[in-house]
Structure 1
């Protein structure tokens, strides 16, 4: 979900943050320097850009998709590191339409969308399907409406 939303938030898609980590020009720059960890570099770059935007709009101490507890951050790093060369992820990130479709598949059929900051529950519920579907639905709805949303979790 982070990769898809990170891709959609970039300048060439919806312009929520001024980055281009998933553009071909960025790949040409990063690949010679980081040939075995290109996706990981893209991931960390876009996560940091998204983290800054979300932190500007949310209260200090709240968690969001791009600022999670340290142990979760470490787990996600390892997960992304293990996806280098995974073609299914590359397919999801090849176009705005493909990424939106992938994000929509992560939402619940009846999950409402939202705009602006929205509390989705306590951080302890992060691993629950309902919570993840609500977060995905909020982003999908905002991208579809041309708006911005900042779903967050409380400690």
Structure 2
């Protein structure tokens, strides 16, 4: 299996994580990207507040997706361990902080950025949406489909959960 572009995958995860938070589209009740989270996270995670924010949002998103999807499948917030480790490594470096800072300025900016990752497809429908297999995640098309499902769902005010089968 060819490796997907981890930077684009991280970008999609950060955008969806931001858009799913309570202040944007309210898919999960976290507020890690709100200004009030900085004083809360800063003293505890002095050098790793961005990483803590990332993992907090990912865990909230993972739980919501897992509630609506088959436990054997994969989704943007539950990927094979090798990919999860690669994304964590990117977040620890400058790449993750740079992407995170640029993409989470406003809901509109995040939706625009998600649109640039997306490929045209049919409008999302409420609930689970199969977009391919985990082996196909390496293709730019599959990541584009995932981004389009989320973009369409956020724009329509519905909840769609794109997933990949083993």
Alpha-carbon distance in structure 2 between the residues aligned to 1:126 and 1:31 = 35
User: Could you say which residue in structure 2 is the equivalent of 1:114?
Assistant: 124
Q: Say which SS state the counterpart of residue 126 (structure 1) adopts.
A: helix
Residue 84 of structure 1, CA deviation: 5.4
User: Following superposition, which runs of at least 4 residues in structure 1 exceed 3 angstroms of deviation?
Assistant: none
User: What TM-score comes out, normalization by structure 2 length?
Assistant: 0.88
1:27-66 deviations in Å (ceiling 9; x for gaps): 1111222132121111100000000000010111110000
Q: Distance in 2 between matches of 1:31 and 1:84?
A: 17
Please tell me whether residue 71 in structure 1 is matched to residue 82 in structure 2: yes
Could you tell me how far apart the structure 1 residues matched to 2:109 and 2:100 are? Answer: 10
TM-score (norm 1): 0.94
Aligned with residue 49 of structure 1, among 46, 60, 63: 60
The equivalences for 1:22-41 within 5 A come to 22-41=33-52
Query: Compared with structure 1, are the counterparts of its residues 142 and 5 closer, same or farther at alpha carbon in structure 2 (3 Å cutoff)?
Result: same
Q: Which runs of 5+ in 1 are unaligned?
A: none
CA contact (8 A) 1:20 1:26 kept: yes
Pairing partner for 2:102 from 88, 91, 110:
91
Give aligned pairs, total: 153
Q: Report 1 or 2 for greater relative contact order, CA contacts < 8 Å, sequence distance ≥ 6.
A: 2
